[in-house]
Structure 1
Amino acid sequence: MSATTMAGALADVMAELARLDDPKVRAANEKRGDDHGVNLSRLRAVATRLKTQQELARALWATNETSARLLALLICRPKDFGRGELDAMLREARSPKVHDWLVNYVVKKSPHAEDLRLAWTADPDPVVASAGWALTSERVVKKPEGLNLTELLDIIEAEMKDAPDRLQWAMNTTLAFIGIEHAEYRARALDIGERLEVLKDYPTPPNCTSPFAPVWINEMVGRQARM
């Protein structure tokens, strides 16, 4: 695609996103820290129509607009991003929804996922570190071989209580998944959760599972037993 054609395609998509921007959706999203006003179902419909377009995805990301970046993550080809490119993208992704989609839709499918997991988990930036813990949770469930679960629990026990919100949430998720998926570590995971009381009072809607690790672990283990 020529530069002129790409510029035209980008302008058309950005104009469409502007038309889809809804002030009510934007106001609701802003309460959660996200600065965009496009309904996500409509955004996904645009992505379905565009299909995979890596060059356009990179151009959309470069706009620094949240709705454009979310669309970019839906139409990109995850394996085409280099390690350094993904690292830079994560450090730019301060919108919670962009951060979440980048990790879950792109980085998890990348051949660089494990290398980035190790680097990000140890990063001093808590937002970056939270991405490393999200990748760690994925491994706890899907590929635990080689993980030192005792060491992970040691870190969670020492650091989760005072961690910033997003990092705390990610570490708590890892704690819960260790307790759910690995029976030999369940008692310790429950004990850590009970003592630290992280997210114990988190408001949980009816018919939803609390993110408080002991409740979450017991609920999911109970469901597995009933299956």
Structure 2
Amino acid sequence: MQLSSKAKKIVNQITSNVKLGDLRKIAKDIKKDHELALELWSTRKFLPRQLAILLMDNKLLSQDVIDKLDKDMQDHPLDERNQLMDWLMANQLSKDRKTISLMESWENSPSSLQRRIFWYYQARLRWLGQTPPPNTEQLLSAIERQIEKEKPEVQWAMNFTAGWIGVFDKKYRARCIEVGNKTGLYKGEMVSKGCTPNYLPDFIAIESKKRNL
């Protein structure tokens, strides 16, 4: 795609030392601009694509459009793919009832990124203190059954969901801890100071204590 002068100017502004907060400031000044977002997305560069996500119109994000974005993300390294899809979920997909319904349908999607977002969204409902839907038993049973078979990017989100279920719902806490014991996922993982380990027995103990739960 041939970039407009406006898009070229923005791309030139975005250097490798730009932080997410800087992108948010740029997006706040521009406001919603789906056409510009598509121009920035067409650069195939990570930071312009992060900005593009902030500028998108979520009313235009159909399943077909999301599938195209998903396909484009495959050109990025795994950590960038995950960041782009998580950023899309947090800043666009979770903001509109239609796209929320799409996310809720992705549990068995052929796309590992979309499966990741199904689980990440379920975790987010609990983590952000919203009243979760009455599907906890179903989710935990699926985690127990499938987590060891999943791709790493999906495993992380399933594990994250189990963590928050274990924190907020004492009825399921022992089962969530057992998922961690059984799988051993993230056991011994080193984390930065102030961060909570992903290993479920540790995650649940630390986050529950923080909240006196």
With the shorter chain as reference, the TM-score category is 0.7 to 0.9
Are the counterparts in 2 of residues 73 and 101 from structure 1 also a CA contact under 8 Å?
A: yes
Residue 127 of structure 1: aligned partner? 113
Residue 61 of structure 1: aligned partner? 41
* Segments of 4+ moved more than 6 angstroms: none
Query: Could you tell me how far apart the structure 1 residues matched to 2:47 and 2:4 are?
Result: 18
Alpha-carbon distance change, 67 to 135 in structure 1, aligned in 2, over 3 angstroms: same
Which one-letter code corresponds to 2:144 in the other structure? E
Which one-letter code corresponds to 2:30 in the other structure? L
1:62-211 superposed matches below 5 A: 62-94=42-74, 95-141=81-127, 142-147=130-135, 149-211=136-198
Larger Cα-atom Rg:
1
Task: State the superposition RMSD in angstroms.
Answer: 2.4
Partner SS state of residue 139, structure 2: helix
Query: Could you tell me how far apart the structure 2 residues matched to 1:162 and 1:201 are?
Result: 21
Count, aligned residues: 204
Residue 77 of structure 2: aligned partner? none
Structure in which a larger fraction of residues adopt helix: 1
Are the counterparts in 1 of residues 93 and 100 from structure 2 also a CA contact under 8 Å?
A: no
Alpha-carbon distance change, 224 to 39 in structure 1, aligned in 2, over 3 angstroms: closer
Percent identity among equivalent residues? 24
Partner SS state of residue 120, structure 1: coil
1:7 aligns with 2:11: no
Unaligned runs of 5+ in 2: 75-80
1:140, distance to aligned residue in structure 2 (A): 4.2
Which one-letter code corresponds to 2:57 in the other structure? R
Residue 27 of structure 2: aligned partner? 47
Query: Could you tell me how far apart the structure 1 residues matched to 2:156 and 2:141 are?
Result: 16
Which one-letter code corresponds to 1:11 in the other structure? K
Partner SS state of residue 4, structure 2: helix
1:97, distance to aligned residue in structure 2 (A): 2.1
